[in-house]
Amino acid sequence: MPSFFVLYIVRLINMNKNLSKISEYSFDTELPTGLFDKVMSRIERERKILAVKKRLAYFSILFMATSAITLPLWVNLFTELTQSGFIQYLLLPFYDLRAVAASWQDFSLSLLETLPTIILTCSLTGLFVLLFSLRSMAKYFQMFKDLTKSQFNDKQYGY
């Protein structure tokens, strides 16, 4: 215990000597005008860059996940369209237009009945999310590029 107390006293004495040496120096240099505004704008720019990076990462992950899910959905949609007979009903007016014109109401109902609506809805939703994430990724990538370009080409910060 006494050794700790001695070390503490020695440290206090050394600190007092260092403080007296620091006080001998004169700090007459004046800070440049507008330094505070420059520092605050730089902090704000870094905050914006960080926010854009987070959003870019989020939409990149969303794009990758959606593209991994959407491709099998579209393959499944085309399989369902061919298995349900929708393609055959859709091509029927090109083969026998008179038969379709004669019973167009029954034909339209048959066409709607064979349409796989659930998988079509899922596929279109996946495509919508995929395109939305791609658009958002491009938007935030452009924002990130603009923010970092102005950071490195800005002469007022001395970089």
- With beta carbons less than 8 A apart as the criterion, state whether 17 and 136 touch: no
**pLDDT per residue over 19-43, tens digit each?**
666 656 656 667 778 888 888 999 9
Tell me the longest C-alpha to C-alpha distance in the chain.
111
pLDDT tens track for 90-114: 888 898 889 888 988 888 898 888 8
Q: Is the pLDDT of residue 157 over 60?
A: no
- Span 63-94, pLDDT tens digits: 999 999 999 999 999 999 999 888 888 888 89
Q: pTM for the complete prediction?
A: 0.66
Q: What are the residues whose beta carbons fall under 8 Å from the beta carbon of 147, sequence distance 6 or more?
A: 45, 48, 49, 52
Q: List the domain boundaries for the chain.
A: 44-153
Q: How far apart are CA 60 and CA 66, in angstroms?
A: 10
